[in-house]
Structure 1
Amino acid sequence: MKNGFLSPTTHITMDPNNWTNEAGVPSGDAALNLMSTPVSALINRAPITLPPHTSIRAAAQLMSEQRVSSVLIAEQGLLFGLITDRDLRNRVIAAGLDTQRPIMDIATLAPFFVNLHDPAFNALLLMARHNIHHVPVLDGQRIAGMITATDLTEQHSTSAVYLAGDIYKQTAVEGLQRASTRIRALQQSLAAADATAYNTGHIITVITDAITTRLLQLGEAQLGPAPVDYVWVAAGSQARSEQTAKSDQDNCLVLDDAFDESVHGAYFRELTRFVCTGLDACGYVFCPGEMMAMTDTWRQPRARWAEYFRRWTSQPEPKALMLTCVFFDLRAIHGQASLLDGLRRDVLQNTRGNTLFLAHMVGNALTHQPPLGLFKGLSPARSGEHKGTIDLKHTGVVPIVDLARVYALAGGHAEVNTHDRLLTAGEGGDISAQSARDLRDALEFLASLRIRHQAQQIAQGLAPDNFLDPAEISNFERTQLRDAFQVVQTLQSVLSNRYKF
């Protein structure tokens, strides 16, 4: 978690409007749901801290006396780092390190943390995403305590944490393949618990992130350290943290500008082929359009990526618009995150207020229309393999994703998740606060319906898909489905009138 890579001191925040679980918990059950439980409820003792100069031996003695698996390192009340029993095993005993050395020599510095009043769900995501089991809790800058994976275990909602932990233990693609088969069961359990689509998307995506990161680690173990800095970047639904149990892969590689094809090219061809092939083996099928890091075009130095984005925004022809919809939704997964951060800032500066480009983006977004008939009734597919069904992804979720992307590019907003983009657009005046709420509610309903549909298919032993027969849902839900589509159609019309050629 050091050396400028993807894990600086970090605090994750989630939208409080998505913490709740409508199903609740059984009466009298002391195990509260992580989506509505504040972190403060999991702290069961005062924080145990030591100054940086404390010897390793003294820290180990204190941990034994207090019967704890970790201690925090603090100076003048400020958090510097932490050490765990794993650090003592791996960095001291196994390495034969002198126990009189200071604990700073073995500590994790600038650790991830959560805030006292965050939902415990934040801690779950943090542990699952980064394969950690101890997370400091802060109240402002004050150290409030520590929570562990065991604290979350008592809340009965940690399958994602332990699935991610199992993924990081695997030493071959075959092991990752076996672990990935549990993702469908995870989605089933989340659907059964009435988890929001927002939270489900984040949890399922965390597992994809873990598999991707582990494949990169295994690839580097085989090929040796990378010869120049790089960042592996997720695109599409993984970047937006909106994945379900049925997802293909969209990814790319941004290389440091020191990259020399003749010297370094072979290494990164092998690494990206290993990772993309491994993802395919784990159920994340190859992108039909080959928008993957193993494709030469999408494995380039930062300067070349900057050229791509400048060309796409200045010459928005059809192919450029299609690529824009994929590669403007990006998130760093592993490596030197700063390579992507600066690139995204530059892109947003070029798109903000760029009316010609935005008009083309709106025109492209309108190719995905909600399935409504002449009199605003539901209009399922009339022919083809999926006759009589509604495509919840391409005619439901995707139009909202497209709208939110336009709002983000128009306003220069850095958010990638669709819900977060809509929230920011409403707060910034890009659309009315009421319209933003309506779109968020429509997104939540459509995405939840899709997740439940897939969970039912998984339970029946079928492969999950996105095609819903309206007869499978109640009259009330069909009315909600129609209303959600009408919201999308109305906002599409508003946007098309705002941006005209």
Structure 2
Amino acid sequence: MPSTPKHPPQFSSQLSRQRVFAQLGAKSRDTLAGQFTLARATAGTTLLAQGQLPSRLGLILSGSVRLSDPDLNLSVQLEAGDLFGFGATPAPQLATWQAVAATDCEVAWLPAQALAQLCTKHAQLAYFLPSLQPVLQPQAEPNQRVNASGNALNLLGTPVRSLIKRAPITLPPETSIQATAELMRDLRVSSVLLIEQDLLFGLVTDRDLRNRVVALNLDITRPVADIATLAPMTLSANSPAFEALLLMARHNIHHVPVMEGDHILGMVTTTDLTEQHSTSAVYLAGDIYKQTTLNGLKNISTRVKQLQQHLAAADASAYSTGHIITAITDAFTTRLIHLAEAQLGPAPIDYVWVAAGSQARNEQTAKSDQDNCLILDDAFDEAAHGAYFKAFSTFVCDGLAECGYIHCPGDMMAMTDTWRQPRRVWAEYFRKWVDSPKPKSLMLTCVFFDLRAIHGQAELLDGLRQQVVQHTKGNSLFLAYMVSNALKHRPPLGMFGQITLSRGGEHPHTIDLKHTGIVPIVDLARVYALAAGVTVANTHDRLEVSAQAGEVTEQSARDLRGALEFLGKLRMAHQARQMAQGQAPDNFLALEELSNFERSHLKEAFSVVQTLQGVLGQRYAGGRF
């Protein structure tokens, strides 16, 4: 949708003829006009997809726009002069409706944060903007904000833009270090952004002033660009807040610029994530990277279970909790790699440390073993390099075990010779698994088709992954075997739809939420992704992308995502209850832990999985013969 970077002189006049913005004075309208972005779209173009209406306000300048709820088959048509989106669309429709150009049209877009700030100054506008009222209500103090269940308010699902507290503080790169420090002192901020030609150039924090200026006795008349972090990591304003948490946790940073396209909206810091349950992940990751010994890491690892308890208490989604807990595992892994290289010296050739299984999918809980491997550059020579990488991988894997990530019972770890090989050997592994899908090969594909680079040369994995998905895409024989293997994990439903409990073993009269609930969905999503030739590993994301590729219907993918989220939250809550009682977390849920409402939804979730397993089984029936 092409945008017009500068607003024509008549645009402010157009605002004066719109019934909402006509309430403003001429000066306020002129200021407001500069915050809009004008865009043209042809008929049929999706302007805002489902879930995106809360991100901005749209003013139709010409043509018409159709708002609709595709799930309920409801729609309305808006014409020039009408408003839609954040503030204007009623709250019940804001999250579920989408906006599509009914004809060729031109729309002026205003960021949600800008509209909220405008209505704070001009309260009379809220009369015309029904869904803006909750945003303008006074906010309780962090320790007073509770949800209906009494748990602390969960900020993980809210947009990053909602965390911005003030307009960005910016300076040109040639500003002196002294002048920058004076401005930060006067405005009482911990960071400033460097802007050149209206584009983000760099970021300077109080830590930079301490570590790069004071500690090194640097000349304070030098340009501040000399101490800045250039091209800093950023987030889109519409990203969920938990992505800010993940970015900070994974990279041990405390300031993240928030962007609307190329426009800087503001800054989010760790202190902006005021809810304790959210920020604890950031501080935990920071503490991990400060450790210089294995004992230090081992001591910190006890806090991972507490983190999951906090996230469960904050009613965080299973999707976000999985990403956060996995980010901590990534931090432990990366720090152990740093310690290994400090002890053994730098690696003699390029490598990439790769997570497999649930860590690769960003779906870990506080109860996880380790699945990992090492892909080495093809320059690897066993005589010259073998001893180093054997010691290196053993140090990391044993260190993870010390930190609570037990050794894989099947030895699928980089410390095992088989799973520490040059790239060419890995390519041959995958070729054999796909061309000769025997039972053991199918088991291995379920682990090693879910891969994610943690540290090192990610290109070694990326090229290999592309080769694999091209080999599996449309390979009906291999996919038929994968489906047959996947159907071994069935949801626990009886003939008449009742939940069947385990009868024996260590956990009688329970449900194995992992192997009979979550794993079947993981397996379905993996088959869809391999058939579509997509490389994403997370199950939720695989379902979404596979639906876009046509391997599963949008409705079925949505149902599976809902079932995955429901089962995941049950699992997280169950483990949090166990840890609060001093028990080791597991995946075995007793029905007595659930309300009748939850039991009903559990049956529905299992039924969704059972139905789609049947559909996939029929699609590939006979494909192995």
* Same structural fold, with TM-score higher than 0.5 when normalized by the shorter chain: yes
From 511, 517, 529, the equivalent of 1:396 is 517
Opposite residue 483 of structure 1, the aligned amino acid is E
Tell me which residue corresponds to 1:308: 429
User: Which secondary structure does the structure 2 equivalent of 1:446 belong to?
Assistant: helix
Opposite residue 536 of structure 2, the aligned amino acid is E
Tell me which residue corresponds to 1:29: 140
From 289, 311, 335, the equivalent of 1:214 is 335
Q: Pick closer, same or farther for the CA change 1:477–1:45 going to 2, 3 Å.
A: closer
Stretch deviating more after TM superposition (41-50 or 290-299): 41-50
From 191, 196, 205, the equivalent of 1:75 is 196
Instruction: Give the conservation status (yes or no) of the 8 Å contact 2:154–2:314.
Output: no
Superposition deviation, residue 51 in structure 1: 3.4
Instruction: Give the conservation status (yes or no) of the 8 Å contact 2:277–2:307.
Output: no
Superposition deviation, residue 107 in structure 1: 2.7
Tell me which residue corresponds to 1:9: none
From 476, 490, 496, the equivalent of 2:597 is 476
Tell me which residue corresponds to 2:80: none
User: Which secondary structure does the structure 2 equivalent of 1:257 belong to?
Assistant: coil
**Structure 2: which 5+ runs fail to align?**
1-49, 55-94, 96-133, 143-152
Tell me which residue corresponds to 2:496: 375
User: Which secondary structure does the structure 2 equivalent of 1:153 belong to?
Assistant: coil
Superposition deviation, residue 74 in structure 1: 2.6
1:41-440 to 2 correspondence within 5 Å?
Answer: 41-153=162-274, 157-440=278-561
Deviations 1:272-320 (A, max 9, x none): 1111111101110000111111111111222222222122112211111
C-alpha separation in 2, matches of 1:93 and 1:28 = 39
**Structure 1: which 5+ runs fail to align?**
1-14
TM (norm. structure 1) is 0.91
Instruction: Give the conservation status (yes or no) of the 8 Å contact 2:255–2:268.
Output: yes
Q: Pick closer, same or farther for the CA change 1:87–1:228 going to 2, 3 Å.
A: farther
C-alpha separation in 1, matches of 2:274 and 2:339 = 29
Instruction: Give the conservation status (yes or no) of the 8 Å contact 1:256–1:301.
Output: yes
Q: Pick closer, same or farther for the CA change 1:228–1:51 going to 2, 3 Å.
A: farther
Q: Indicate the structure with greater strand content.
A: 2
Instruction: Give the conservation status (yes or no) of the 8 Å contact 2:156–2:278.
Output: no
Q: Pick closer, same or farther for the CA change 1:54–1:299 going to 2, 3 Å.
A: farther
User: Which secondary structure does the structure 1 equivalent of 2:455 belong to?
Assistant: strand
Deviations 1:231-260 (A, max 9, x none): 211111111111111000001112222332
C-alpha separation in 2, matches of 1:100 and 1:347 = 55
C-alpha separation in 1, matches of 2:352 and 2:222 = 35
C-alpha separation in 2, matches of 1:149 and 1:364 = 45
Superposition deviation, residue 125 in structure 1: 1.2
Q: Pick closer, same or farther for the CA change 1:98–1:293 going to 2, 3 Å.
A: farther
C-alpha separation in 1, matches of 2:181 and 2:264 = 21
Q: Pick closer, same or farther for the CA change 1:327–1:259 going to 2, 3 Å.
A: same
User: Which secondary structure does the structure 2 equivalent of 1:73 belong to?
Assistant: strand
Instruction: Give the conservation status (yes or no) of the 8 Å contact 1:422–1:440.
Output: yes
Superposition deviation, residue 448 in structure 1: 1.2
Instruction: Give the conservation status (yes or no) of the 8 Å contact 2:308–2:366.
Output: yes
TM (norm. structure 2) is 0.73
Opposite residue 588 of structure 2, the aligned amino acid is F
Opposite residue 128 of structure 1, the aligned amino acid is A
Aligned length: 482
Superposition deviation, residue 378 in structure 1: 1.4
Opposite residue 239 of structure 2, the aligned amino acid is D
C-alpha separation in 2, matches of 1:90 and 1:367 = 56
Identical residues among aligned pairs (%): 69
Superposition deviation, residue 483 in structure 1: 1.9
C-alpha separation in 1, matches of 2:283 and 2:162 = 21
C-alpha separation in 1, matches of 2:606 and 2:539 = 17
Specify which structure has the bigger relative contact order, considering alpha-carbon pairs within 8 angstroms and separated by 6 or more residues: 1
Tell me which residue corresponds to 2:88: none
Stretch deviating more after TM superposition (83-92 or 232-241): 83-92
C-alpha separation in 2, matches of 1:372 and 1:278 = 41
Superposition deviation, residue 400 in structure 1: 0.5
Instruction: Give the conservation status (yes or no) of the 8 Å contact 1:33–1:155.
Output: no
Instruction: Give the conservation status (yes or no) of the 8 Å contact 2:277–2:314.
Output: no
Superposition deviation, residue 99 in structure 1: 4.2
Stretch deviating more after TM superposition (168-177 or 273-282): 168-177
Deviations 1:20-39 (A, max 9, x none): 9xxx9xx9625463224322
Q: Pick closer, same or farther for the CA change 1:105–1:310 going to 2, 3 Å.
A: farther
Superposition deviation, residue 219 in structure 1: 1.4
C-alpha separation in 2, matches of 1:497 and 1:328 = 23
Deviations 1:373-417 (A, max 9, x none): 232221111222222111110111001000000000100112211
Superposition deviation, residue 85 in structure 1: 2.2
User: Which secondary structure does the structure 2 equivalent of 1:157 belong to?
Assistant: helix
User: Which secondary structure does the structure 1 equivalent of 2:489 belong to?
Assistant: coil
